[in-house]
Homo-oligomer: A and B are copies of this chain.
Amino acid sequence: MKVYNFSAGPSTLPKEVLIEAQKDLLDYNGSGMSVLEMSHRGKVFDEIHNEALSLFSELLGISDDYYILFLQGGASQQFDAVPLNLLKKGRADYIVTGNFASKAYRQAQKYGDIHIAASSKDKNYTYIPDVDNITFREDIDYVHITTNNTIFGTKYNRLPKTKAPLVADMSSNIMSEVMDINKFGLIYAGAQKNIAPAGLTVVAIKKELVGDPMDICPTMLNYKTFADANSMPNTPCCFAIYIAMLNFRYLKKLGGVKEIQKINEYKAKLLYDFIDNSDFYTNSVNPADRSIMNVPFVTPDKDTDIKFIKEAAENGLVSLKGHRLVGGMRASIYNFMPVEGVKALIDFMKKFEMQNK
Q: Is the CB of B1 within 8 A of A32?
A: yes
Q: Is the CB of B80 within 8 A of A33?
A: no
Q: CB of A166 within 8 A of chain B? A: no
- One of B21, B74, B77 near A218 (C-beta < 8 A): B77
A interface majority secondary structure: loop
Q: Is the CB of B238 within 8 A of A10?
A: yes
| Cβ contacts under 8 Å, A236 to chain B | 198-199
Q: Assuming A36-B13, A76-B220, is B3 touching A192 (CB within 8 A)?
A: no
Contacting B at CB under 8 A, from A213-253, are 215-216, 218-221, 233-240, 243
Q: Is the CB of B32 within 8 A of A25?
A: no
Q: Is the CB of A13 within 8 A of B37?
A: yes
Q: CB of A161 within 8 A of chain B? A: no
Q: CB of A5 within 8 A of chain B? A: yes
Binds B, one of A38-46, A122-130, A349-357: A38-46
Docked complex Cα distance between A174 and B7 (Å): 34
Q: Which residues in A have some Cβ–Cβ distance to B below 8 Å?
A: 1-3, 5, 7-13, 15, 18-19, 21-22, 25-26, 31-34, 36-42, 72-77, 79-81, 84, 107, 110, 190, 192, 197-199, 215-216, 218-221, 233-240, 243, 316, 318-319
